[in-house]
């Protein structure tokens, strides 16, 4: 099995331009519509912008909750929602702790990393959207926390 890869946002570089969300909706739905993006973005006074996107949980509650078997783990360990199998029961939406599963018409959807094409990361000219190793992401988060603790 390949190394687990995820999409994440580097808060300090994000200015909220929404290009990542627009390319996401266009890539998946062929229209520029922030409401159809697999990436959510919100602003917090203390931390700046933060994303709402699948965190690829190790014990993914959405997989356990899906009665249709539409949610599975890809070879690279990323959690995928097969929209063709989705029966729109919304059980995955209800159990997702990160609010990362959306609903459109009669089907649910979530980030699938565009099958590794990482379009959201490619279009972000600020370098805020990253796509890569889960271990690298955790190491960077730990470093940021340590930097905050060490600064008076």
Query: Model confidence over 75-118: pLDDT tens digits?
Result: 878 899 999 999 999 999 999 998 999 988 788 999 988 877 88
40 with 60, same domain: the answer is: no
31 with 76, same domain: the answer is: no
100 with 115, same domain: the answer is: no
Q: Which tokens is 33 given?
A: 């519509």
Residue 119's CATH number: 3.30.70.20
User: How many structural domains does the chain have?
Assistant: 2
* pLDDT of res. 33: 93
Q: What is the pLDDT of residues 44-68, one digit of tens each?
A: 777 778 788 888 888 899 999 999 9
> Across the strands, what pairs with 71?
81
82 with 66, same domain: the answer is: yes
27 with 98, same domain: the answer is: no
81 with 94, same domain: the answer is: yes
Flag whether 31 is in a domain: yes
47 with 4, same domain: the answer is: yes
Q: What is the domain range of residue 126?
A: 1-53+111-146
Q: What angle do CA 54, 10, 138 make, to 5 degrees?
A: 65
Average pLDDT of every residue of the chain: 86
115 with 47, same domain: the answer is: yes
Q: Is 81 exposed, middle or buried (0-12, 13-18, 19+ CB in 10 A)?
A: buried
- At residue 76, the 3 state secondary structure works out as coil
* pLDDT of res. 49: 81
If we measure between CA atoms, which residue out of 116, 110, 133 comes closest to residue 60? 110
């Amino acid at each position: 099995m390949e190394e687990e890869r995820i999409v994440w946002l580097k808060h300090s570089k994000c200015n909220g331009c929404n290009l990542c969300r627009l390319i996401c909706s266009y890539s998946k739905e062929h229209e520029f519509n922030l409401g159809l993006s697999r990436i959510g973005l919100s602003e917090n006074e203390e931390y700046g912008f933060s994303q709402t996107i699948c965190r690829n949980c190790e014990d993914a509650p959405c997989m356990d909750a899906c009665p249709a078997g539409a949610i599975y783990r890809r070879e690279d360990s990323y959690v995928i929602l097969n929209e063709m199998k989705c029966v729109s029961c919304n059980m995955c939406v209800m159990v997702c702790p990160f609010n990362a599963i959306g609903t459109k018409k009669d089907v649910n959807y979530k980030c699938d990393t565009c099958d590794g094409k990482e379009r959201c990361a490619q279009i972000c000219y600020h370098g805020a959207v990253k796509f890569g190793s889960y271990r690298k992401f955790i190491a960077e988060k730990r470093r940021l926390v340590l930097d905050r603790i060490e600064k008076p």
